[in-house]
Amino acid sequence: MGRGADSDSDPDVEDDDYYGASAKASTSAAARRAPLTSTAGNSQAQKASKAIARERRNYHIHRLYVRQEHKECLAVIEEVLGEFGGLCEYPIYVRALIKRHEGKIAESLTLFQAATALNPHNVANLKQVGRSLYLLGRHRAAIDVYDEAQNAVGADDWEIWHNKGLCYMYLKQFDESVECFKGANDIQRHDTTYAQMGKVYALQEKYNEAVDVYLEALEFSPENPEVLTTIGLLYLRMGESFRAFDYLGNSLTHDPRDPKAILAAGSIIQDNQDVDVALIKYRVAATQTPNSAQLWNNIGMCFFGKRRYIAAIACLKRALYLDPFEWIIAYNLGLVHLNTGQAASAFHFFSSSINLKPDFPSAYMYLAVTLAKLDDHDNACAAYEKAIEMDPGDHLFHLNYALTLYVAGEKERCVERLEVFEGLWKGLDDETKNVDDEVPKMRGLVRKALGMSDVFGGGERSAVL
Amino acid sequence: MHHLNATRDYDACIDLCTKMLEKNPYDQQAWTRALTAKNWIDETEMEEEGVAEIMMDENATAQVARPGTSFARPNTSASRAGGGVATGLSSFNQGMRPMTRAGAPMTGFARPATAARPSTGSSRDTIETAFRGSGRPGTSRPVSSAARLTRLGTATQLSEPGGPFIDVDKLDLRKYAQKDALARALIEYIMHHDRNPKKAVELASLATVNANFKDWWWKERLGVAYYQLGMYRDAEKQFKSSLKDQPMIKTVLQLAKVYIRIDQPAAAMATYVKGAELFPGETSMLLGQARIHDALNDMHLGVPLYKEVLKWDASNVEAIACLAANHFYTDQPEIALRFYRRLLMMGVNNTELWNNLGLCCFYASQYDMTLACFERAIKMADDEEAPDVWFNVGQVAIGIGDLGLAYQALKIAVSVDSTHAESFNNLGVLELRKGNVEAGRANFEKASREAEHAFEPAYNHALLAFKTGEFQEAYERVEKALECYPEHADSVELKKQLKKHFTLL
């Protein structure tokens, strides 16, 4: 009797593929299941037929799972599990996968663990346990499981490397992470691995390396719009807008409705003063992401470029309503208000922009221009000083400062600033000089005014552009 | 006595009558309407639904109503389901316009029975939601059946010396039904003072029989009594028959109210439209239509109706407030400001108005007025309104980039009301910006527990969980967010990424 109770619980770990491995347990199981026959050969045959019976419906389960007919699949699994007392590896495995599809990771983890308990030698189970742990955010535990899997499998498996890399990435151990991804790529190359590696580099702000990785990925799969978009965005971040545009344009030919690519491409088009084309692009994006603050910001600036100030303010305000933390929207609103001559409103927007992002020197300059318009000369000067202190190399700061000083009648300091400006101006290349034709005009005006002192009025406004 | 009644000095009138009756207990003249009038409530307004009515709604015909045919599913307006384009410009867009606590779209005017009904979603049929009530904690207790009626009734009985004035149970209603004029006064007394709809039904049906089923007034009374007993279909029958005899504004409103109660917005709408044809210039018909549009999320359809109302009645508070709110949420704070100023000039002076004025001033870039308005609002606010005002102060502070002030204002808001979900959500965002991930997470957790109708905390939480690699958590949250706002582009994108993670082997 005692023996019988033992054998009831004992052979649970055994599975049909590996029945030879734990000889003692399996014989006892056979003894229990076939108590009338005692010859070894007979029990062996029975077991084989049992094993076949157990796997008989696996093909069916697999087919249903691949067809994503999850409901029927679960029903079949239920049946099979009921038939064999829950001791079948594959149905449990598939059930766990379906649970994961439904977003129930914790349940799927227990199922995978059950499958591993049934068959500890199957690496697929171990990998899935690791994956579940990773999805649950328990990265350290996941790495341990993957290590175990790596020892078990002997040969290299890119998936294990890749997933380990992911875990390291979330643990912020970037060097290990990159190592793992490289290991994965050495075995077999995959888009996802490249994408993740690029992401790790981008997280560390090593954009050049990131671009290299993505370019390599592009060689491998040249028509992946996501990779193209990402490269475009990285180039944009590095300030190489022409190359960025190439890639973004490519990406848009493959997927013309991707809002991210549209937004990025639109911003480049906009930078090149082709406002109408940009607006058309944004129209496509607006139907998909009507609540995107960035999109409304760009649309607002398009209208600003077309000198339709009311529309611009409306769009920018909507953007600010949607995302009050975005400093650049406040900054843009300040610009538009400054242009429409509403200096008090402009001041508020510049100051909130500076509150949100205190390390953007241009905002200080515009704040200074605004303050000068509001006749607050001392604070205007302070703001200029602050801007220049943060970035002494920007010629516009000095020119505008000179203008303000001139208007306030401080000619000596004005000349001083103008000289600094001249020095910087000479150092610029022609392309930068031609970006804004107001600057040389203004320069001429101030020089003339300083020489002849009379013909001058309302200077700052145009320099602001 | 008549004079006192006409000048609405009901208490003095009641005293006088009592004296007269003491002298001559059978003086039928003194059966005055004063007691009735003192306890009068407007029957044409909706009342809050009780817990039992929400939980055991026997009038519901379908568990999941078709889009645009039920008040319980405001997120499925017919026009949106048909068009499929949520551009946010014409129809309702949750990203732009907040929801009330119960998940109905925010209108410009707080009406009875628009706030209580829980919206769709997993939470709908749970006891907790029903018991939560519509107000803030400490002020809200779940509404029991016919709460307003019974509670007011008990209060008067308590204060009445010498027991109830008329013991209806002992009256021979058959006798009184013969005397038409007296019966009319009596039924008003039964309905408004005694709150005894059962007796009212008895008296009214006797009186109707007496009038050969020809008197619209008795039919209407009978309908109201049926309505109070919860027999909506019978009430409908009576109102319809009463309208056939004599169309009256009051009856039309009552009929529409029946339809609203049994959750048939289309029928209610048809009733109002017919009523508006019969009584042109009757603003309550127009307002009724507009309210239904609002409750079904078709805000843009309500706007012309409100304008029409203002044509007839230029100082209709509800219409002005709704138009103002509508302008505010469609990026025209300047125009909203003018509507609110009009309200101010009409003598409305309360926290909500000053609060709205402050917000409009802020978004219309009139900064000098903003804080002054909020100061007034805070001065007048009680515990129920203060958190909302402080929340808005926080919002304004974020707008001008003063995050310290924003943090403090939001903290005050949650200190007054520990369930103010919006404040918790924004506090969470501020904490995240400071780098306090755990504090942020706790705030989102709290916010989404308190406000199951809002997608923001759920989405914020999901995003946070996704960034820290807890995909299970993220998935659950994003599901919740999408349940509240199925078109939210960021949530859809996040879910797509999560799915990708899950299906990847």
Domain A1-153 - what CATH class? mainly alpha
pLDDT above 90 for A270 = no
The answer to the question of residue B360 being in a domain is: yes
Assigned token pair, B319: 């219409």
pLDDT in tens, B128-174: 544 444 444 444 444 444 444 444 444 444 444 555 566 666 777 77
Say whether residue A68 is in contact with chain B using an 8 A CB cutoff. Answer: no
3-state secondary structure of B356: helix
* pLDDT value for B389: 92
Say whether residue A322 is in contact with chain B using an 8 A CB cutoff. Answer: yes
Contacts of B505 in chain A (CB under 8 A): 131, 159
Whole-prediction pTM value? Answer: 0.74
Alpha carbon of A182 to those of A138, A164, A185: distances in Å?
23, 11, 5
Half-sphere exposure of A319 (CA within 13 A, CB side): 24
Say whether residue A95 is in contact with chain B using an 8 A CB cutoff. Answer: no
Task: Find where tokens 């203004």 sit.
Answer: A442
Query: Please, which residues have CB within 8 angstroms of residue B134's CB and are 6 or more apart in sequence?
Result: B48, B101, B102, B115, B116, B140
CA distance B295 to A348: 38
Contacts of B475 in chain A (CB under 8 A): 103, 105
CA distance B126 to chain A (A): 23
Say whether residue A106 is in contact with chain B using an 8 A CB cutoff. Answer: yes
pLDDT in tens, B439-463: 999 999 899 888 777 888 899 999 9
The answer to the question of residue B465 being in a domain is: no
Q: Which domain holds residue B331?
A: 317-380
Kind and range of the H or E element at A200? Answer: helix A191-203
Query: Hey, which of A225-234, A448-457, B30-39 has the most confident mean pLDDT?
Result: A225-234
Of A251-255, A453-457, B244-248, the least confident: A453-457
Of A41-50, B322-331, B485-494, the least confident: A41-50
Higher local confidence (pLDDT), B31 or A57: A57
Contacts of B88 in chain A (CB under 8 A): 290-291
| Boundary residue ending a domain (B345, B380, B415) | B380
Q: Which of A105, A192, A290 is opposite residue B88, by nearest beta carbon? A: A290
Contacts of B490 in chain A (CB under 8 A): 289, 291
The sign of the torsion formed by the CA atoms of A90, A92, A98, A104 equals negative
Among chain B residues, CA nearest to A259: B489
Contact A325 B93 (CB under 8 A): no
Query: pLDDT tier at B6 (50, 70, 90 boundaries)?
Result: low
Task: Find where tokens 């290349």 sit.
Answer: A429
Say whether residue A338 is in contact with chain B using an 8 A CB cutoff. Answer: no
- Does the fold of domain A359-465 match that of domain A1-153? yes
- In A, residues 191-220, which contact B (CB 8 Å cutoff)? 192
Alpha carbon of A170 to those of A218, A323, B191: distances in Å?
25, 27, 69
Among chain A residues, CA nearest to B401: A352
CATH 1.25.40.10 fits A359-465, yes or no: yes
pLDDT in tens, B365-410: 888 889 899 999 999 888 888 899 999 999 899 888 888 999 999 9
Give the residue numbers in B contacting A (CB under 8 Å), as ranges: 85-89, 93, 95-96, 331, 363, 365, 367, 395, 398-403, 429, 433, 465, 468-473, 475-476, 479, 488-490, 498, 501-505
pLDDT above 60 for A110 = yes
pLDDT above 90 for B14 = no
Q: How much of chain B, in percent, has pLDDT values that exceed 70?
A: 67
Say whether residue A230 is in contact with chain B using an 8 A CB cutoff. Answer: no
Across A25-34, average pLDDT: 40
The sign of the torsion formed by the CA atoms of B2, B7, B10, B11 equals negative
Domain count, chain B: 2
Among A65, A104, A135, most B C-beta atoms within 10 A, so best to mutate, is A135
CA distance A13 to chain B (A): 25
pLDDT in tens, B250-298: 899 989 988 988 888 889 999 999 999 989 888 889 999 998 888 887 7
pLDDT above 60 for B315 = yes
Q: Are B478 and B458 in contact (CB under 8 A)?
A: yes
pLDDT above 90 for B411 = yes
Q: What's the CATH number where B352 sits?
A: 1.25.40.10
Across A340-350, average pLDDT: 89
* pLDDT value for B299: 79
Q: How much of chain B, in percent, has pLDDT values that exceed 90?
A: 20
Assigned token pair, B10: 């009901």
Q: Which of A159, A287, A356 is opposite residue B87, by nearest beta carbon? A: A287
Q: Which of A105, A136, A324 is opposite residue B398, by nearest beta carbon? A: A324
The answer to the question of residue B153 being in a domain is: no
Say whether residue A359 is in contact with chain B using an 8 A CB cutoff. Answer: no
Contact B399 A320 (CB under 8 A): yes
CA distance B268 to chain A (A): 33
Contact B363 A317 (CB under 8 A): yes
The answer to the question of residue B369 being in a domain is: yes
Structural domain boundaries in chain A:
1-153, 291-357, 359-465
CA distance A286 to chain B (A): 8
Of A105-114, A305-314, A412-421, the least confident: A412-421
Number of residue pairs across A and B with CB atoms under 8 Å?
98
Alpha carbon of B307 to those of A112, B249, B290, B312, B316: distances in Å?
63, 21, 10, 9, 10
Higher local confidence (pLDDT), B413 or B91: B413
Exposure string over A278-314, b if 16+ CB within 10 A, otherwise e:
bbebbeebbebbbbbbbbbbbbbbbbbbeeebeebbb
Q: What is the DSSP letter of B49?
A: P
Alpha carbon of B59 to those of A88, A137, B238, B261: distances in Å?
50, 47, 18, 9
pLDDT above 80 for B36 = no
Q: Which of B363, B399, B476 is opposite residue A103, by nearest beta carbon? A: B476
Average pLDDT of chain A is: 78
Across A45-69, average pLDDT: 78
Q: Which of A101, A139, A288 is opposite residue B503, by nearest beta carbon? A: A101
Q: Which of A170, A286, A352 is opposite residue B399, by nearest beta carbon? A: A352
CATH 3.70.10.10 fits A291-357, yes or no: no
* pLDDT value for A457: 35
CA distance A267 to chain B (A): 20
Q: Are A424 and A392 in contact (CB under 8 A)?
A: no
Among chain A residues, CA nearest to B395: A324
Contact A291 B331 (CB under 8 A): no
Higher local confidence (pLDDT), A202 or B134: A202
CA distance B469 to chain A (A): 5
Task: Find where tokens 């200077």 sit.
Answer: A459
Assigned token pair, B26: 């059978």
* pLDDT value for A443: 76
Across B356-363, average pLDDT: 91
Question: What does chain A come to in residues?
Answer: 465
Say whether residue A125 is in contact with chain B using an 8 A CB cutoff. Answer: no
* pLDDT value for B99: 61
CA distance B445 to B424: 9
* pLDDT value for B311: 92
Contact A137 B502 (CB under 8 A): no
pLDDT in tens, A147-161: 888 887 766 778 888
Q: Which of B95, B365, B469 is opposite residue A137, by nearest beta carbon? A: B469
Contacts of B331 in chain A (CB under 8 A): 314, 317-318, 321
Assigned token pair, B427: 């506090």
Query: Hey, which of A38-52, B54-68, B173-187 has the most confident mean pLDDT?
Result: B173-187
* pLDDT value for B43: 63
CA distance B412 to chain A (A): 20
| Boundary residue ending a domain (B380, B409, B428) | B380
Query: Please, which residues have CB within 8 angstroms of residue A163's CB and are 6 or more apart in sequence?
Result: A127, A130, A131, A134, A142, A146
Contact B331 A318 (CB under 8 A): yes
Contact A137 B400 (CB under 8 A): no
Amino acid A18 reads: Y
Query: pLDDT tier at A332 (50, 70, 90 boundaries)?
Result: very high
Contacts of B366 in chain A (CB under 8 A): none
Kind and range of the H or E element at A87? Answer: none
| Boundary residue ending a domain (B327, B345, B380) | B380
